[in-house]
Amino acid sequence: MAERILVTGGAGFIGSNFVRYWVDRHPDDAVVAFDVLTYAGNRPNLAAVEDRIAFVQGDIGDLEGVTATLAEHEIDIIVNFAAESHVDRSILDPEAFLRTGVIGVHVLLDACRAEAAARAAGPRPAPRYLQVSTDEVYGSVETGRSVETDALAPRSPYAAAKAAGELLVRSYVVTHGVDAVVTRGSNTYGPYHHPEKLIPLFVTNALEDRPLPLYGDGLQQRDWLFVTDHAGAIETVLRRGQAGETYNIPGSAELTNREVVRQLLEALGKPSSNVPFIMPKRVADTDAFKQIEDYTGSGPYIFKRDEYKPGDKAVYLKADRNLAYGVVVETMDTLNRLGVESLGMVTELRSEGAP
């Protein structure tokens, strides 16, 4: 039987991919994409399916607008992707994340509750609600892997808002009997990703022969999940998940940021010299050689331009906003392209980040 599905945040990265996924696999279903179109939502993301869906520009924090949409389109399923998604932005403007991740989730759940009550005496079942959360609610996991029963320990306003949204979902299941489930996806990548995110940013920088700003030693490890796989897992939870439960969605592709960058450069046929080595500003002088060697492999390295000759490796250091950038360069062309006037001595690196 054909279903009517509301996808909030439907013009965003994962949301728009989910819309395309659903339309392709369930062509008889009615899909409504609902998005306020902030920086995170881009209507052209839906261009390929625009004539096969309905689009509503609206804010999930607007109870009247949400309620009207549920009633007008007789929605059976709500999948909430709506989120302010950039962690750094959440530090600068946490209130926007709370409006979407907490107040917006509350509005959606309340509208769901009211719609379920209105349908109680009729033949149509109450709508099912799925909250798309994130594995970032677990915080930093030093060893092993997170399971759904682990304590939540968010480390940013973004993750805290997501965790709060999850708790609201559970409260509406327990208190009001809302049919709702939660998913926690790992780090998702794929088409239509916002250009400020790691993979699209590094791909575009590499294509334009600009440095790739890999922070620290690049050994931060994340589990990478392709967006279509994420969409498929969400459908599985919609079909088979039990109300009130939470489900992890792993990608089973755990890679360090350094390895992700290496694979990107290899796929693009770009040299590793495009990757700056960025050391935290409090790096000790005695650690400088070791950190560079750990990052680049064994030397020897030349640190003065007038000593450089073709075939040598060199490390170019400069200070920028209290960070020391070191770029391994292997050709004079690379030095010229970077505008390097001189190669500072690594031993002169200061603990405050200036060479």
Within the chain, what is the greatest distance between any pair of CA atoms? Answer: 85
Alpha carbons 78 and 128: distance in angstroms, whole number:
6
With b for 16 or more beta-carbon neighbours within 10 A and e for fewer, the 55-69 pattern comes to: bbebbbbebebbbeb
Q: In a 3-state reduction of DSSP, which class is residue 57?
A: strand
Residues 6 or more apart in contact with residue 262 via CB below 8 angstroms: 272
Alpha carbons 355 and 353: distance in angstroms, whole number:
7
Question: Which residues belong to the active site?
Answer: 135-136, 158
Alpha carbons 127 and 266: distance in angstroms, whole number:
47
Strand partners, 222: 255
Contact predicate 329/271, CB 8 Å: no
Report cis status (omega within 30 of 0) of the bond before 310: no
Strand partners, 133: 184
Distance of CA 69 to the CA centre of its chain: 28
